Amino acid sequence: MTTTSSVRTRVLRLAVALGLAGALAGCGYNDFQRLDEEVKAGWSEVLNQYQRRADLIPNIVATVKGEASFEQETLTKVVEARAKATSIQVTPETLNDPQAFQRFQAAQGELGSALSRLMMVTENYPNLKANQGFQDLRVQLEGTENRITVARNRYIKTVKEYNVLARSFPSNLTAMVFSYEVKPSFTVQNEAAISAPPAVSFDKPAAPAPAPAASR
């Protein structure tokens, strides 16, 4: 009798467990786990590419410094922007902290803007344009910027999928039960505006038109 009761209890527990597993799967639990891992992996790739860019900057600055007449203010802004961007402590909690995420994004956007201006200004220095070492660094920087864009866009796409799941019924119930919060993401338009280099013209201003002769 005891054996039969024990078997029934085990069967009941198994049925409850299977029912719970089915309910969780139907409410997006497995999708949350999958997307959370994809978000973390995407974030790691974004950080790797930003670090790659930061590592290139000292060599770029050192090469540009060799041009005696180069604008020091432009170089200083790049160095300061790099220091600011690399000083921000990035932790796993950053992914779930909108304010911390925004600070990180703003700092990286400012660094991108400073670098864009630097590259524009170098066009006015023939010696730098003829410097093979500098041109190699420029190519590396352009490749890194492209990889940053690709990694960031993949991250945005994955976070969007995660957030849609967290907001949609019935998976939003699973999010509430397990405290799955909506994740912050890059605001592409805002960052593009931050990173857009200012318009710089090296053309001499046109001479003012002569004043019309006074009528007699």
Domain ranges, ordered by start, for the chain = 36-195
The letter for the amino acid at 168 is: S
What is residue 20's predicted lDDT score, i.e. its pLDDT?
43
Locus of tokens 């932790």:
91
Q: What CATH superfamily classification does 36-195 receive?
A: LemA-like domain (1.20.1440.20)
Q: Which of 91, 92, 90 has its CA nearest to residue 36?
A: 92
**pLDDT for the residue 196:** 41
CA–CA distance, 128 with 133 (Å, rounded to integer): 9
Ramachandran angles phi, psi of 215, nearest 5°: -75, 145
Report pTM.
0.75
Q: Which pLDDT score is estimated for 159?
A: 96
pLDDT attached to residue 96: 86
Residue 26 confidence (pLDDT) above 90 = no
Share of the chain above pLDDT 70, in %: 74
Instruction: Give dist(CA 138, CA 132) in Å, integer.
Output: 10
